[in-house]
Amino acid sequence: MPERERFGQLDTAASGRGGRFSGPATHEGEREESRARRRFTVDALFADTRPQAMGVSDLPNAKEIRLDRIVPDSEQPRRTFDPDKLRELADSIAGEGVLQPIVVRYDLARDAYVIVHGERRWRASTLASRETIPAIVREVPPERRLIHQLMENIVRDDLNAVDRAAALRALKAQLGEPPWEQVAEAVGIRRSRLFQLLGTEKLPETAREDIRAGRLSEKQSRPLHGLSAARQEALREWIVTNHLSAGESNALARRLKRLPESTPEDAAAARTALAQLTAPMSMEASPGSDGSSTLKMFQAIRDAAAGHPGATAHLRVLADQAGAPSFSAAQLDRNVGALAGTLARIDLAKALPAAPRRDLTALRDALTALIERSPSVQPRTRRR
């Protein structure tokens, strides 16, 4: 076949298939299409095209940081870390890992990451012997750090009321002493709730310490307001020892306020006043009580020696109610001597009457409980 005819057939065949040998316009269109197919970025080359990646983007500031590179914030509002709860969290982290990253900021001067919030997770991770912890690094301005920490703890109700009150007052000063309404709005809590938290600042130190330790809640502490210092202390002790609910505490405080108070500083008088209100409750709670104050006292001694919850406070109330003096070894010696003299006159040939037998049995049981509970005193050795 002549050369011209052979190339003519190739050109015709290519034209029918849209091949390379089509005319100039066709060649230009194919080049544009080829360039469009080749246009891509390096990011597109490494993009995750799996279905689960749709609508998901990576965080450039999410890190896995060594624990020894992280330090706590000295201005953190949390001041109390419950050891038992921290141990529980450490056990959870040891088994499941840290489920929520902490938030840190980088401090150039110290070359360390300072915790913004998540110190409990950091401490628990240390207890769990982990080497690193997931963290999100943020640049938080100084004027916003306390707000971040407060919102983390206050909104989640993860901080005791006393520390929250102190943090709110510090935030108010940091913001330039605005009205409390603005402080409440800044951290996203109700105004009424804010003043309930601030009310803990007026409580005695013993009550504030109970709140920090978790023995007393802010709700349980509200009935203490409006009482004298002596009655506050007596009621606080009764609430904590007997595990009263907030409603029970409030009802008891209302009844206590109705009683006249001649000496507000007298702690013994406050306990006696409380004993007058709680005595009916104690009689009902005393198992096997037959109305005898002596038997109730012996039973309370046995309960206190056995370490029953609330028994020590119950015994103190009964002693105050009976007007019993403070313990005295000399007084005990005299009373034991008098008892021994009385028992020496018993006619052993006759059966004991029911009442003395009952009282002596109760005394025996109380003495046994006391002796077994009390540590023995080692005899002193003479120096040579």
Under the banding of pLDDT at 50, 70 and 90, the label for residue 344 is confident
> For 284-301, what is each residue's pLDDT tens digit?
334 444 446 788 888 888
Here the tokens at position 101 are: 């990253």
Number of folded domains in the chain? 2
In this structure, is residue 182 part of a structural domain?
yes
In this structure, is residue 69 part of a structural domain?
yes
Residue 182 shares a structural domain with residue 75: yes
Q: Looking at 187, 206, 231, which one is the last position of a domain?
A: 187
Indicate whether 69 pLDDT > 90.
Answer: yes
In this structure, is residue 318 part of a structural domain?
no
Under the banding of pLDDT at 50, 70 and 90, the label for residue 179 is very high
What is the pLDDT at residue 27? 58
Residue 79 shares a structural domain with residue 170: yes
In this structure, is residue 27 part of a structural domain?
yes
Under the banding of pLDDT at 50, 70 and 90, the label for residue 334 is confident
Residue that wins the pLDDT comparison between 154 and 119? 119
By CB neighbour count within 10 A (0-12 exposed, 13-18 middle, 19+ buried), where does 95 fall?
exposed
In this structure, is residue 214 part of a structural domain?
no
Residue 23 shares a structural domain with residue 67: no
User: Helix axis angle, 267-285 relative to 229-242, nearest 10°?
Assistant: 30
Mean pLDDT of 359-375: 85
Residue 67 shares a structural domain with residue 106: yes
Residue 3 shares a structural domain with residue 78: no
Instruction: Fill in the amino acid letter for 20.
Output: R
Under the banding of pLDDT at 50, 70 and 90, the label for residue 32 is low
Residue 70 shares a structural domain with residue 159: yes
What is the pLDDT at residue 34? 56
Q: Looking at 187, 222, 245, which one is the last position of a domain?
A: 187
Under the banding of pLDDT at 50, 70 and 90, the label for residue 160 is confident
Domain region containing 9 = 1-32
Indicate whether 26 pLDDT > 50.
Answer: yes
What is the pLDDT at residue 155? 54
Residue that wins the pLDDT comparison between 157 and 270? 270
In this structure, is residue 312 part of a structural domain?
no
Residue 79 shares a structural domain with residue 174: yes
> For 108-151, what is each residue's pLDDT tens digit?
999 999 998 888 899 999 999 999 999 999 887 776 776 776 66
Here the tokens at position 153 are: 């703890």
CA distance 81 to 196: 22
Residue 117 shares a structural domain with residue 169: yes
Mean pLDDT of 237-251: 89
Residue 15 shares a structural domain with residue 117: no
Residue 97 shares a structural domain with residue 24: no
Indicate whether 277 pLDDT > 70.
Answer: yes
Q: Looking at 159, 187, 215, which one is the last position of a domain?
A: 187
Residue 69 shares a structural domain with residue 161: yes
Mean pLDDT of 189-214: 93
Under the banding of pLDDT at 50, 70 and 90, the label for residue 7 is very low
In this structure, is residue 7 part of a structural domain?
yes
Mean pLDDT of 13-24: 48
In this structure, is residue 152 part of a structural domain?
yes
Under the banding of pLDDT at 50, 70 and 90, the label for residue 82 is confident
Least confident of 167-181, 185-199, 320-334: 320-334
Indicate whether 329 pLDDT > 60.
Answer: yes
Indicate whether 80 pLDDT > 90.
Answer: no
Indicate whether 28 pLDDT > 70.
Answer: no
Q: What is the CATH number of the domain that holds 140?
A: 3.90.1530.30
Q: Report the chain's mean pLDDT, rounded to a whole number.
A: 79
Least confident of 71-85, 87-101, 356-370: 71-85
Here the tokens at position 367 are: 């003495």
Residue 135 shares a structural domain with residue 22: no
Mean pLDDT of 198-221: 94
